[in-house]
Structures are given as structure tokens and as C-alpha cells.
Amino acid sequence: MKDFATDYPIDTSIKPDVEAFFDPDTNTISYVVKDPTSNACAVIDSVMDIDYAAGRISYESADKMIKFIEDNGLKLEWLIETHVHADHLSAAPYIQGKLGGKIGIGENITVVQDTFGKVFNEGTEFQRDGSQFDKLFQEGDTYKIGNMTAFAMHTPGHTPACMTHVVGDAGFVGDTLFMPDGGSARADFPGGDAGVLYDSIQKVLSLPEETRLFMCHDYGPNGRDIQWETTVAEEKEHNIHVGGGKTKEDFVKFRTERDAQLAMPRLIIPSLQVNMRAGEMPPAEEDGKVFLKVPVNTL
């Protein structure tokens, strides 16, 4: 494992402003991360609205983020996807079209594109080289948001392309972790692995104890209000799946048994087709109509 103190540019004296946007339809939390010393910002894990039954998409959620960025006079530099989400569609290209910025995801997007390119029987016109994205992050890559240095940690297990993005004292964990009383995300999607997820969680928990951690999802377990922010120290001590020194063996057994009980996420079929294209719909047919596929008896 890396020596975090020397291998990553951790600087917890940098405290980005973090604005959260909760989407009640998919229980996703999107973020605007702002540099306190400039007007630069990044968007993390935006949401496109979809009425799947009606085949209708809209952008109320993304428009709220756009309004926030415009009202505060911010300059959008990055649109980060922590992974290829299976439970909501990304609005990154829509926001990019209005505000600019670069769309980035982990380099293992190519693995995900290969897997789901086959599932959806995509032809050769669907590129599986990640070229739909502006930036493919590798383990340890750094980038700037204004004057802040951010870095990407490869944290696979939930999916092969999962990255945790760290900006100063703030870590955006995607689906690597949930709030302490929510535990962890499933590891049974193609390319997922419970043991690998455990190791990735340990990597996140090796960040400084005071690091603020921001979740991509919260389901308000046991009827509590929705929450999305915790710390490394809190997760280490209290996370119901990995906290308090739970072993890898315990975790893998629990996670595997739990995952076997879970139904597919409601929006997995449209989400994957759009998100593996960096948030774009599949190409239109000759008459201009756009279609999503439903693979029968495949997932």
C-alpha cells in the first residue's frame, strides 16, 4: 500500500467549500466543490432526471447546480464522475454545454465499456477506449481546481473504474463507502469484488482522520434524515460493515451474502447505457429518434 504522507499531495489545511445537492428520486448527492481562494469549482456526480416509464429525460436537478454556479459567479473547471453509476444518469455533458469544464473518470472506464458494450450489443461505433471523456484519471493523478491541488485514488471493488477524489481536507468517495450506519455499497456488479472493495475502503480510511468524507448516496437507514458528510475517524470507528476493526474475511462473507439478496437498481439499464458514454444518449436513429435498449434475461 502507498505511503500516503509522501505519495499523495495531502494538504488538510486547504478546506474547499462544498455545496451538496440531494436528488430524492435516486438518493444521489451531487456536489459543487469550490476553491476558497478563487472562483474555480468542480462538479462531482451530477444527475440527469429521468421518468423511465415514460422514456422522458429532463434537467431540473442539473439546472439547480448550474444556477448555483452562475449565481455565485463561479468558473466550472471539472465535471468528475466517481464511477459509472448504475442507479442514476449523469448530466455532465448538459452542464458542460452550459458552463464548460472537463469531464473526467477513472481510466478503468475502458473495462466497464468493454463489459457493458457486450451486454448492450453495441456495435463497433461504440468506442471502448474512454474517448468520450476529456480526462481518464490514473491512480495518484493530480489536477487543479483553481489554486487547490486535487488527486484521484483508485478505489475499485464496487466497480473497476471507481475513484475517490481528494481535495484538501475533503474526500469524495463515490460508492466506496456509505455513512457509518449505511455501511458499504454492493460489490456484485460485473467487475465488482468484495475483497477488492475492502482493500479500497482501507485505502480511504488511511487518509488523515480529520478528512471530511462526502458520500454519493444515502438512504436514511432506520428512518433517520438524509446525511452525506462524515469523517475518516467516524467511519473507522462506527461503520457497520468495516468499522471497529472488522476483518476482510468478515466483510467479504457479509457483503457476498447481502449482495445475493439485492435486486437490480431501478435505473441500471438506462444508467449504464448513458453513463458509459460520459452521460450522452446512444446515437440517434436515421429519423433522429433516440432509443435505449433493454437486454432481456442478461443482467
Nearer to Fe ion, 141 or 175 (CB): 175
**Exposed e or buried b per residue across 47-63, where buried means at least 16 C-beta atoms within 10 angstroms of its C-beta:** bbbbeeeeeebebebbe
Nearer to Fe ion, 211 or 271 (CB): 271
Q: Are 79 and 103 in contact (CB under 8 A)?
A: yes
Show the 3-state SS of 43-93: EECCCEEEECCCCEEECHHHHHHHHHHHHCCCEEEEEECCCCCCCCECCHH
Nearer to Fe ion, 8 or 172 (CB): 172
> Closest separation between CB of residue 247 and Fe ion, Å?
25
> Closest separation between CB of residue 217 and Fe ion, Å?
7
- Alpha-carbon span 151 to 103, nearest angstrom: 15
Nearer to Fe ion, 81 or 175 (CB): 175
Site for Fe ion in 62-91 (CB under 5 A): 85
> Closest separation between CB of residue 289 and Fe ion, Å?
29
**Exposed e or buried b per residue across 157-191, where buried means at least 16 C-beta atoms within 10 angstroms of its C-beta:** bbbbbbbbbbbbbbbbbbbbbbbbebbbbbbebeb
The dihedral through the CA atoms of 143, 137, 78, 124 has a sign that is positive
Q: Locate 15 and state its grid cell.
A: 478546506
Which H or E run includes 186? none
> Closest separation between CB of residue 203 and Fe ion, Å?
17
Residue nearest to Fe ion as judged by C-beta position: 175
Site for Fe ion in 116-175 (CB under 5 A): 175
> Closest separation between CB of residue 157 and Fe ion, Å?
11
Nearer to Fe ion, 85 or 165 (CB): 85
> Closest separation between CB of residue 64 and Fe ion, Å?
21
Nearer to Fe ion, 65 or 197 (CB): 197
> Closest separation between CB of residue 156 and Fe ion, Å?
12
- Alpha-carbon span 154 to 32, nearest angstrom: 21
Nearer to Fe ion, 85 or 255 (CB): 85
In the chain, DSSP assigns E strands to 17-23, 28-34, 40-44, 49-51, 56-58, 75-80, 102-106, 135-137, 142-145, 148-154, 163-167, 170-172, 212-214, 229-231
Nearer to Fe ion, 85 or 128 (CB): 85
> Closest separation between CB of residue 90 and Fe ion, Å?
11
Q: Does 218 help bind Fe ion (rule: CB under 5 A)?
A: no
Site size toward Fe ion (CB under 5 A) is 2
Contacts to Fe ion by CB under 5 A:
85, 175
